[in-house]
Amino acid sequence: MSRRLALVASLLAFACSPSCGGEPAPIAPSPSPLLVTPPATKSTVAENAPAPPPWTPKPARFENPGGMWMPHQIAGHAAKLKELGLQIDPAALADPTSGVLSAVVSLGGCSASFVSPDGLIATNHHCATGALQHNSTPAQNLLEQGWLAKTRAEEKNNGPQARVFVTRSVTDVTPKVMDGIAKIEGDGQRFRTIEKRQKELVAACEKGRAGLRCSVASFYEGAQHFLVEQLEIRDVRLVWAPPSGVGNYGGEIDNWRWPRHTGDVSMFRAYVGKDGQPADFSPDNVPYHPPHFLKIAKEPLRENDLVFVAGYPARTSTLKTGAEVKEAITWGYPRRQKLYEDYLARLAEATNGDKEAQIRSTSYVRRFGNYLTNTKGQLEGLVKGGLAQDKERMEKELRAFVDADKERKAKYGTVLDDIGKEIDKNAAHREADAELRDELHLPKLMWAASVLVRMAEERAKPDADRDPDYQQRNWARQEQALEALATSYHRKVDEALLGLALERGARMPEKERSAGVAKVLGGKDTSSDAIKKAIARLYDGTTLADGKTRLELFRKGTTADLRKSKDPMIALALELRPLVKDAEDRQERLSGRMALLKPKYIEAMRAYRKEPFAPDANSTLRITYGTVRGYKPTPDAPPYRPFTTLSEVIAKDKGAPPFDVPARLKAAQAAKKTGPYVDETLGDVPVDFLADLHITGGNSGSATLNAKGELVGLVFDGNYEAMASDWVFVPSLTRSIHVDVRYIEWLLDAVDPGHALLKEMGVEPKVAQ
């Protein structure tokens, strides 16, 4: 339970409220599918694209009920998996150290997997955006051109913040965290007690164990807590990423859409010190040798085949009370949608004609564009799909179940109303707090100044009493984040972000406006001229654009030192700190209150449902399984085939982004250098495929495995019609989108000179280069 500034990551959330957390699956299945129709858009298929061949889907073998399962829960699914054709011991999916799961890793935002004994990692192309941006210049823009290291020496450093996390164990520590919590008076004190216990567990776990990273993760809305131990690899390097005309083919036009034709793949390599232990980047480091790695599938993937995804999904919201759904559709999602639209437009305007600024803003642009489409789909699914009405019905059923028994009524009778009251209470501050903690601290130098002020404040405390993000175990991480600004900060981009944040705040009614806006502006004048002058004063006078200054202040600065500083950015951060602390205190009290209410709600739901259900996603290792399946976007539409092909990629080519197929790919296809990668049932090289798996953000790059536990693809997206699957899983409609491993092999074999990588993965090249 960290109290750190939400910053960019919090823009994923629609509110810093109970709705920010993950909850278990719905109380009862929806009585009808949530069929939502995407807004009318221009066709994404090129005019000269061939019509898809006639296709009749096979009868479904399995109606996936959804769920992102913890490994130890897979034992309860062994019979179904065997029925679907699983050819490995189900125990291999229940143990994080097994030959399958130990190869699946987290990149701290994306998922990935080891695919060779020398630490080669496969993930998505969009998961490499930061690494590509870190290594790009206007003269060599890897974001557009891609990169292939022909030797180990050419593998490029992904940057100081790059990480690979390998899960070693997951242990239930619920009693150690929650015993006696209900007896603690005061919501804030309850929060701090839980946090203190978590910090103690982490400290004991990491003591004397260099290279190990421990954390306590909350499941089932705080009803359970698990201690997660992970190896933290800190030297990660870029090996291969195809050009944007492959890896980002279709861009935002095709994002969240099917049919899809994106080669969303990249490869990294994990390095460690010569002693085999994790180490910071050094030319002397050597490739990491994982105990296990995934093998590439040799048998072709077919419709209805069993597939499963293992990865680190970030967050879902499959259990929401009616009050929480209402907050999402009336405030959270509309606010997010407008926010992303505003920031995308402002960044396009601010960076127009400036290649360097465009490179530095790429991570913002792609992230906000992706979130915008997702947010629209989520909102549409919730409103048009009738989830609010379904939730109201389910709550009535739960209330009836509780009221039918005197003991249940005494135990759970007011929990839904109590949760709703807390949400309503939080609403009084949510807009101002979001402005302050998210938008005003989105510019990189504003964030850096706040880190320096907070570090000075926390350094004066005993380490055990510090905020978790500012404990000594995290100092190196904080330094690396400040160091990373060297290749991510651009003044023009930063000023644009701050200017828009102030404009958006100024447009809010005064009672909803953060007091931080006036502090940035130096008064109540919110005119355009006042905003421009305030920004110029801050950025002309600050010293924080200098990396050495940032690190020096982080390592040695005291609050007294910072108060003497003439740097206007630091002075502003000091002024904003009391406001930020007030917002943090409110969030702590809310979390402390929910620590009593939400577990009680989960207990009532378990009594009502009786059947086991998966916890919501929380960036820990999960497994979801299903089959390769097409779908009908609307009840009266023809069904989509679950595979796309190489010829369709070529047919969509327009010679300009985002439909700009690289010349060497077109040449390889024209010369029929397709080797054995042509699927006999498709008559072409498969590119992407569909499955009915339950995924969300954070799953990007997750390994898609077949019945033998072999790699058949990488998941990278979902379909627009089912964006609300973060809230409710609809078997007939919810689909995951994967890049086919055969397309990846073909790209390395026939398009890019990647024979060495294929051989490293145990694949013999088939096409002469």
**How large is the average pLDDT for residues 164-189?**
97
Instruction: Identify the band that residue 14 occupies on the pLDDT scale cut at 50, 70 and 90.
Output: very low
pLDDT for the residue 52 = 61
pLDDT for the residue 386 = 72
**How large is the average pLDDT for residues 103-114?**
97
Give the DSSP H/E element, type plus range, for residue 170.
strand 164-172
CB 534 within 8 A of CB 502: yes
pLDDT for the residue 55 = 82
Q: Could you give the residue numbers annotated as active site?
A: 126, 264, 700
Long-range contacts (CB closer than 8 Å, 24 or more residues apart) made by 551-556: 551/479, 551/482, 551/483, 553/452, 554/451, 554/452, 554/455, 554/478, 554/479, 554/482, 555/479
Instruction: Identify the band that residue 383 occupies on the pLDDT scale cut at 50, 70 and 90.
Output: confident
**CA–CA dist 521, 619 (Å, integer):** 38
**How large is the average pLDDT for residues 404-423?**
95
pLDDT for the residue 51 = 58
pLDDT for the residue 20 = 28
Q: What is the pLDDT of residues 324-356, one digit of tens each?
A: 888 999 999 999 999 999 999 999 999 999 999
Is residue 150 predicted with pLDDT exceeding 70? yes
Phi, psi of 50 (to 5 degrees): -70, 150
Share of the chain above pLDDT 70, in %: 93
CB 69 within 8 A of CB 170: no
Other Cβ atoms closer than 10 A to 139: 6
Bridge partners (DSSP) of residue 684 are 679
CA torsion 375-380-386-391 (nearest 10°) is 10
CB 255 within 8 A of CB 242: no
**CA–CA dist 436, 6 (Å, integer):** 10
pLDDT for the residue 26 = 24
Q: What is the pLDDT of residues 254-280, one digit of tens each?
A: 999 999 999 999 999 999 999 999 999
Give the up-direction half-sphere exposure of residue 756: CA atoms within 13 A in the CB hemisphere: 11
Residue tagged 């205190």 (tokens): 585
**How large is the average pLDDT for residues 561-567?**
97
CB 165 within 8 A of CB 190: no
Give the DSSP H/E element, type plus range, for residue 370.
helix 355-384
- Tell me whether the omega of the peptide bond preceding residue 658 falls within 30 degrees of 0, making it cis: yes
pLDDT for the residue 388 = 67
Is residue 769 predicted with pLDDT exceeding 70? no
**How large is the average pLDDT for residues 513-538?**
96
**How large is the average pLDDT for residues 706-715?**
98
Least confidently predicted of 82-86, 231-235, 424-428, 727-731: 727-731
Bridge partners (DSSP) of residue 218 are 225
CA distances to 298, 402, 684 from 398, rounded to whole Å, are 49, 6, 52
**How large is the average pLDDT for residues 380-391?**
76
The distance of Cα 675 from the centroid of its chain, to the nearest Å, equals 36
Other Cβ atoms closer than 10 A to 4: 18
Query: Position 36: which residue type?
Result: V
Give the DSSP H/E element, type plus range, for residue 691.
strand 686-691
CA distances to 471, 603, 680 from 332, rounded to whole Å, are 32, 27, 48
CB 506 within 8 A of CB 531: yes
**How large is the average pLDDT for residues 64-84?**
95
**CA–CA dist 399, 465 (Å, integer):** 42
CB 263 within 8 A of CB 242: yes
CB 440 within 8 A of CB 446: yes
Give the up-direction half-sphere exposure of residue 122: CA atoms within 13 A in the CB hemisphere: 33
- State the chain's mean pLDDT as an integer: 91
Encoded tokens for 539: 């950025």
CA distances to 57, 302, 644 from 680, rounded to whole Å, are 17, 11, 14
pLDDT for the residue 320 = 81
Encoded tokens for 708: 């033998």
What letter would DSSP give residue 51?
Answer: P
Is residue 84 predicted with pLDDT exceeding 90? yes
**CA–CA dist 137, 143 (Å, integer):** 9
**CA–CA dist 643, 654 (Å, integer):** 22
Range 433-445 burial, b when 16+ CB lie within 10 A, else e: bbbbbbbbbbbbb
First-to-last CA distance in the chain?
53
Residue tagged 């209410």 (tokens): 597
**CA–CA dist 268, 233 (Å, integer):** 12
- Find the DSSP H helices in 88-223: 129-134, 142-145, 174-178, 187-206
**CA–CA dist 197, 300 (Å, integer):** 50
**CA–CA dist 150, 133 (Å, integer):** 20
Instruction: Identify the band that residue 599 occupies on the pLDDT scale cut at 50, 70 and 90.
Output: very high
pLDDT for the residue 9 = 37
CB 14 within 8 A of CB 332: yes
User: By C-alpha distance, which of 44, 167, 202, 134 is closest to 489?
Assistant: 134
pLDDT for the residue 724 = 86
- Give the DSSP per-residue string, 390-401: HHHHHHHHHHHH
Is residue 13 predicted with pLDDT exceeding 70? no
